[in-house]
Amino acid sequence: MTAEIIYQGNLRTQATHIKSKTTLITDAPVDNRGKGESFSPTDMIATGLASCILTIMGIKAEDKGVDMSGARAEATKVMASEPRRISKISIKIYMPEKPFSDKEKMLLEKAAHGCPVRRSLHPDLEEELEIIWLS
């Protein structure tokens, strides 16, 4: 088992990661009868995609002895209706001001596209990925 999720009422859940015991709360978004006081389940999809991309890039960077600490991502999701679903996720990755070579940039960009979350999403979901090199 990966996680235990308990419905707490009022469109809120509490999820506990089994191995680490870390917990997180989700709320339904304001536009879907929720309070919007925490991540919504659909926010978690966009956030998971951005986190996965950074993690896979980080693995490649570590393998190559490259320091990419300080890299950050912005995730934006767009909802559609009929049926209600995520229609688009845009991810912007901001790489820190460090001297990345062209080869390192190419390797990290390729790694970003190999994220397993990305490979698991429906092909109809529109995805935008932009990597911004601040150096």
For residues 98 and 66, membership in a common domain is answered with: yes
Query: Is there a single domain that holds both residue 64 and residue 126?
Result: yes
Give the Cα separation of 16 and 4 in Å (integer).
Answer: 5
Q: 116 lies in which domain range? A: 41-133
Are 11 and 70 part of one and the same domain? Answer: no
CATH number, domain with residue 68: 3.30.300.20
Do 87 and 25 share a domain, yes or no? Answer: no
Does one domain contain both 74 and 89? yes
Residue pair 13/25 in contact (Cβ under 8 Å)? The answer is yes
Residues 29 and 76 in one domain: no
Give the pLDDT of the chain (135 residues) as one tens digit per residue. Answer: 999 999 999 999 999 999 999 999 999 999 899 999 999 999 999 999 999 999 999 999 999 999 999 999 999 999 999 899 999 999 999 999 999 999 999 999 999 999 999 999 999 999 999 999 997
Residues 62 and 34 in one domain: no
Across 62-74, b (16+ Cβ under 10 Å) vs e yields eeeebebeebebe
